[in-house]
Amino acid sequence: DAEGLLRIKEENQKHYRRAQRHQEKKEKIQKHNRKLGDLVEKKTYDLKTQYEHLANLRRTHILELTSVIFPIEEVKTSMRDPADVSSESDNAMTSSTVSKLAEARRTTYLSGRWVCDDHNGDTSISITGPWITLPNNGDYSAYYNWVEEKKTTQGPDMEHNNPAYTISAALCYATQLVNTLSLILDVNLPKKLCNRQFCGENLSRHRFTRAVKKLNANILHLCFSQHVNLDLLHPLHTLRNLMYLVSPDTENLGR
């Protein structure tokens, strides 16, 4: 029994020394984990700082791009209210006629149906200059209507002020701007759209509307990625959505 007791004591001492070594190893591991935690916290702070710096650089580049090369502005048209016109004309125009004219100004025939225009049709959005504009309500039917009429009309086209030209030019510039913004913001666009899509050959109605839908989808995707206020966006307002995206008031631009 004495020999057995001595043997058990020796085993207990071995276990105790082994427990001490494990305790020291545990303390070293905890100390190492604390150092790693401090390092990760510092790296996280540095990464956040770099992200903020990168966002500021992106924001600066975008604001320079949209102020020098691709300025986007809201252009007011010189359309007068029917009530003002009626006050200067004879008294034959009744109040019902004036109200009907005002209601007609607030509606637009778009893709086979009448839609309400929130901005009463008195504004348009320009890109790269006040002479290149898009309708505020997203009605680009003037383009494919012109293409269809041109197919049936023989001879050279001498109408240089045709709205179809300004529509195709504005959409071409908008596509180029969107593709450039995707590179600056490092955001992959959901739809592939070339810069030359709207210039060159005359597009059919199907191809034109399909390309416009792709462009609008890419613009909305960029707006969502930069946390633009959803209440400001409209799926058909191409340049207006783009204007909200690159506005200096967009707090998260460059994120």
In-domain check, residue 46? no
In angstroms, the CA 113 to CA 109 distance is 5
Select the more confidently predicted residue: 123 or 36. Answer: 36
Write down the pLDDT at residue 155: 52
Please name which of 226, 190, 210, 198 lies closest in space to residue 134, comparing C-alpha atoms.
Answer: 198
Decide if 4 is inside a domain: no
Instruction: Give burial (CB, 10 Å; 0-12/13-18/19+) of 237.
Output: buried
Asked whether residue 154 is domain-assigned, the answer is yes
Residue 143's pLDDT is what?
83
Residue 59 in domain? no
pLDDT higher than threshold 70 for residue 149: yes
More confidently predicted of 156 and 85:
156
Read off the pLDDT of each residue in 225-244 and give the average, rounded to a whole number.
90
Q: In what helix (H) or strand (E) does residue 4 lie, and over which residues does it extend?
A: helix 2-64
- pLDDT score, position 184: 93
Core vs surface per residue 56-84: b (16+ CB within 10 A) or e = eebbeebeebbeeebebeebeeeeeebee
Strand partners, 109: 114
Please tell me the predicted confidence (pLDDT) of residue 82. 42
Domain assignment of residue 146, yes or no: yes
Q: Look up the domain containing 184 and give its range.
A: 122-246
Alpha-carbon distances of 4 from 11, 14, 143, 146, 157, rounded to whole Å: 11, 15, 103, 108, 114
pLDDT level of residue 222 (50, 70, 90 thresholds): very high
- How many angstroms separate the most distant Cα atoms in the chain? 131
6-18 pLDDT, tens digit per residue, is 999 999 999 999 9
Domain assignment present for residue 188? The answer is yes
Instruction: Please tell me the number of Cα atoms within 13 Å of 134 on its side-chain side.
Output: 27
For the chain, the domain total comes to: 1
Q: Does some domain include residue 224?
A: yes
pLDDT in tens, 200-220: 777 888 888 899 999 999 999
DSSP 252: T
- 195 has pLDDT over 90: no
pLDDT(177) > 90:
yes
Q: Does residue 66 fall inside a structural domain? A: no
187 pLDDT more than 80: yes
pLDDT digit string (tens) for 23-66? 999 999 999 999 999 999 999 999 999 999 999 999 999 999 99
Does the pLDDT of residue 92 top 50, yes or no? Answer: no
Ranges 86-95, 102-111, 185-194: which has the least confidence: 86-95
